[in-house]
Structure 1
């Protein structure tokens, strides 16, 4: 059986629906999912229900953990928090390093989180677009080729999804992959070559409008 790396972007986030949330939030760079985003995660989970996924890795931001958790519930799998898949720590979007929930706080909310897993890669504020693509690409490549030869799911953000895909298939991902909200990228390993099969599929999202990427805020 060929190894498959699935790469998903988180679902819709609360501050995309209610921009004023950002003004009073305690952790303003770590919004939760919106109500329709929660529905999107359920549709994503249903889409992946029949796939032979063995491990789930996610960025530690709340919206990605919520997205990964929906899939983990359906597949009955633990969740591994991997900072290498984190949001682009862009100083143009963030005036300071983003504050997120601690591992223990996340584990209290999401019992499927595996507290024994140690992240392989760090995300350091601030960073350029090239740097986030490199670290997410290295993360995807390392997890898929060095540690976990089974089929895996990576849950990240727009830029880290792109970077993860680039880490496996190369520069072609820059023009081929479209990381819309709750979209799916599918990369298949055949012998020693990685092939891009899904480039940001959203066919599993039904009954709602798909929000485009806002151009001026983090994604």
Structure 2
């Protein structure tokens, strides 16, 4: 992505608040036998704990908004996977319940936030029909009609680590340009890879400090909060993959390092392109 396009994110007049959230606990990581009878084994739903995590995350975001005196609308953009849409619905339920919002936050399918389509994780292309708006509206009736036309409901397959990271950086800029405003804050619901790549890519582009940001873990329903204040050129990373709101809803899996690249703070290395990845909690 060109530096000219990215410069829109550092415009001193820009004022934005964005929460980036990973989905809750997924059932196939708790019950491996689930895939044996699942009609769509590539698209697992949340566990009951995952649903509770999502709702608690919504309550946490509502409390954060109250503490900061935000009196703005909320728009939620979700990856088209079932578990992320369930998480988005749970977040909306929690936000609305905790804050008493008069208007339900708008929910949109947002393909750029999709799972990392690495060939190590998905040996074959996924069936696109499962992820279209026309299919998902039957399962999630509060979905808004598409605001932006995307060429496909999923990213191109297979997707390298570099391509994935660039996609998530572009997804953030595109979301800011098309779905947000000073009076509309965003919640982006994605996967482990995206919740790590978005802040790290923004930091690498010197948009978010610290510029050498490394995030070793992105647990289920972790929250990253990014704030761009007027008259400033850099974004503030107010919360980074935080899970303090889940003290009694701790995940049982899903804390592994999920994206390849430089060794993260705390040690350990992620998968590299072409590596045979054994990742029990990817996305």
Q: Could you tell me the TM-score, scaled by structure 2's length? A: 0.70
Matched, 1:60 2:96: no
Q: What is the CA–CA distance in structure 2 between the aligned matches of 1:49 and 1:151, rounded to whole Å?
A: 12
Q: Deviations over 1:1-55 (max 9, x none)?
A: 9521110000000001101112332211110001110110111111112424521
Relative to structure 1, the CA distance from residue 86 to residue 98 in structure 2 (aligned partners, 3 Å threshold; closer, same or farther) is: same
Q: What is the CA–CA distance in structure 2 between the aligned matches of 1:101 and 1:142, rounded to whole Å?
A: 20
Tell which deviates more after alignment, 23-32 or 7-16: 23-32
- In the other structure, the counterpart of 2:33 is 20
1:150-161 correspondence to structure 2 within 5 Å: 150-161=184-195
- For structure 1, the residue ranges without an aligned partner over 5 or more in a row are none
- For structure 2, the residue ranges without an aligned partner over 5 or more in a row are 1-13, 66-71, 97-103, 206-210, 257-277
- In the other structure, the counterpart of 1:216 is 279
Match of 1:125 among 157, 165, 176: 157
- Work out which of the two has the higher radius of gyration on C-alpha atoms and give 1 or 2: 2
Q: What is the CA–CA distance in structure 1 between the aligned matches of 2:174 and 2:108, rounded to whole Å?
A: 14
Matched, 1:180 2:216: no
Q: Could you tell me the TM-score, scaled by structure 1's length? A: 0.89
1:145 CA displacement: 4.3
Q: What is the CA–CA distance in structure 1 between the aligned matches of 2:164 and 2:185, rounded to whole Å?
A: 23
Q: What is the CA–CA distance in structure 2 between the aligned matches of 1:146 and 1:59, rounded to whole Å?
A: 16
Matched, 1:88 2:116: yes
Quote the RMSD (CA, aligned, Å): 2.3
SS in 2 for 1:7: strand
- In the other structure, the counterpart of 1:134 is 166
SS in 2 for 1:94: coil
Tell which deviates more after alignment, 26-35 or 167-176: 167-176
Note if contact 2:196-2:215 (Cα within 8 Å) is conserved in structure 1. no
Question: Which ranges of 4 or more aligned residues in structure 1 deviate by more than 6 Å?
Answer: none
